[in-house]
Amino acid sequence: QVQLVESGGGLVQAGGSLRLSCAASGSIFSIDAMGWYRQAPGKQRELVALITSGGSTNYADSVKGRFTISRDNANTTVFLQMNGLKPEDTAVYYCNANVNHRTWLRNYWGQGTQVTVSS
């Protein structure tokens, strides 16, 4: 099994910054894409940012230019640097990873971390 442990959420004023981290551990051969999703109350979960093992990135239009996704050299930890935060960024942020177990692939989710942006 694989565990994704997120950290870095919290309360911040509009215009502020936060940095989320997600570390993967367990029975891992390699990890393909890793990403961050978010879910606000009463809304569906949506993609925020995605990064492949090769370093290609993809962002939701709403966060382009403000958020940056990155991975460590071991490709087991993903970060989300969030600058210029807005109240509409308030949500539970979830880490996601496509893990290669050598002969099979499985998608995993973290437990979520709350990000609250006050106006």
Could you read off the pLDDT of 14-48 as tens digits, one per residue?
A: 999 999 999 999 988 999 999 999 999 999 999 99
The whole-number pLDDT of residue 73 equals 84
CA atoms within 13 A on the CB side of 46: 15
CA 12 from centroid of its chain's CA atoms: 18
The pLDDT-based confidence of 109 (bands split at 50, 70, 90) is: very high
The pLDDT-based confidence of 63 (bands split at 50, 70, 90) is: very high
| Burial category of 73 from C-beta neighbours within 10 Å (exposed 0-12, middle 13-18, buried 19 and up) | exposed
- If you average pLDDT over residues 62-91, what whole number do you get? 96
Task: Please give the share of the chain, as a percent, with pLDDT higher than 90.
Answer: 91
